[in-house]
Amino acid sequence: MTSSFQPLPEALAAGWEERWLERPQGPLRYVVAGRGRPLVLCHGFIGSAENFETWVPGLAARRLLVIPDLPGFGSSAALAGQHSSRALASEVRALTDHLHLDTFELGGLCLGAAVAMEVLAQAPAKVERLVLHTPLMTPAMVRRAFRVQVGALTVPGVFNLISALGRWRVAADLYRRVVVEGSTLVDQRAADLNFANQARANPRAAREWLRDGVSVSFLPLLDGWHGDVFALAAADDRILEVELLAEYCRARPRTDLSLVTASGHGWSAEFISRQLEILERIVATPALLP
C-alpha cells in the first residue's frame, strides 16, 4: 500500500517513512521521520500526514515525528462509528501504544488540535507538552460566521452536494479563497495537496468531525492540566477568533502564543517559512514536566 501523493524530496531525505497499522476497521496509515523524543502530530480537517511535510526537514533532527492519517482521511480507513475528535483520538492512542511510546509531545493543526486535546484527556500522564496550530479550543474561539456555515452546510443532504462539488477543482478553490483563505496567496503545492486530500476524504467522516470539532470546549481540560502549551496562529485567520485565543493564552500559566502577522488561514510560502522558524524554536526549548 502506498499514498497517492508523494512527499517533498526534502522530507524523504529527512527520513520520511510510510507505515501501516492494521486496525479492526481497516488500515491506519502513518509516517515516521527523525530521531529523539517523540512528537505525535494530528493533521487538520480533510488533511493527511502530508500537511506536515514542510515541517519534517526542520524538526526531524530533534524529534521522532509520528504522523498518522486520521481515520477517514488520507489513506486511512474510515471508522464504523462516529468520527468525533474523541473517537479519532482513540485511534491515535492505539498507534502510540503500538509504538510503545510511554511519553510524547503532542501537536495538532486546526481541527487536529481538538484531536490532540482529546488524546490529552485520555492519557494526561503520557503527554509532555502541547503544540497547537490554529487551535479551536472552545466554540467561542470559532468565528460566528464560520459556525453558522458549518451548521448550514453539514445538513446531510446539503453536505452530500458540497462534497460532490468539492471534487471539482474550480469550485473547491473558489470556496477556499472566499470563505477560508481570503486574499492570502496560497503556496501552489499546498493548494494541490489540499485538493488531493479533499477529493479522497470520506464524506461521512468529514461531516461528523467538522460538526463535533467546532462544538466542544477544551478550556476546562487545559485549565486542569499543568503542562506547557505552545500555540501558533496567523494574525488574520478567518476561522479563529485570534483575540480570544490571545486573551486565554495570556491568562493561562505556562502558555506561549506566537502570531504570524500579515497571514491568514491559507499557507503562503512566507507563512510556511515563518511557522517553521517558530516550531524549530519550540522544539529547541527544553520541556518541563507537567
Q: How far apart are CA 83 and CA 64, in angstroms?
A: 27
Residue 213 to residues 38, 139, 150, 216, Cα–Cα distance (Å)? 25, 9, 10, 6
Angstrom distance (rounded) from CA 170 to CA 287: 44
pLDDT of res. 285? 87
Name which of 66, 64, 52 is nearest 95 in CA terms.
66
- pLDDT of residue 287 exceeding 80: no
Name the band, by pLDDT with cuts 50, 70 and 90, for residue 290: confident
Distance between CA atoms of residues 201 and 177, nearest Å:
20
Query: Among the listed ranges 24-28, 104-108, 164-168, 173-177, which one has the minimum average pLDDT value?
Result: 173-177
Cell numbers at 141, concatenated: 474561539
pLDDT grade, residue 61 (50/70/90)? very high
Name the nearest CA neighbour of 232 among 182, 288, 283, 191: 283
pLDDT digits (tens, 9 = 90+) for 220-251: 999 999 999 999 999 989 899 999 999 999 99
Q: Of the ranges 25-29, 55-59, 188-192, which one carries the lowest mean pLDDT score?
A: 188-192
pTM above 0.85, yes or no: yes
d(CA 71, CA 80): 10
Q: Tell me the average pLDDT of the chain.
A: 89
Domains, the chain, in order of start with CATH, read 9-284 (3.40.50.1820)
Q: Tell me the CB-side half-sphere exposure of residue 93, using CA atoms within 13 A.
A: 19
pLDDT digits (tens, 9 = 90+) for 68-99: 999 999 999 999 999 999 999 999 999 999 99
Whether the CB-CB separation of 187 and 267 falls below 8 Å is answered with: yes
Which residue, among 172, 7, 133, 143, has the nearest Cα to 75 in the 3D structure?
7
- pLDDT of the residue at 183: 52
pLDDT of residue 213 exceeding 80, the answer is yes
Please say if the pLDDT value at position 178 is more than 50. no
Taking the C-alpha atoms of residue 218 and residue 118, their distance in angstroms, rounded to an integer, is: 8
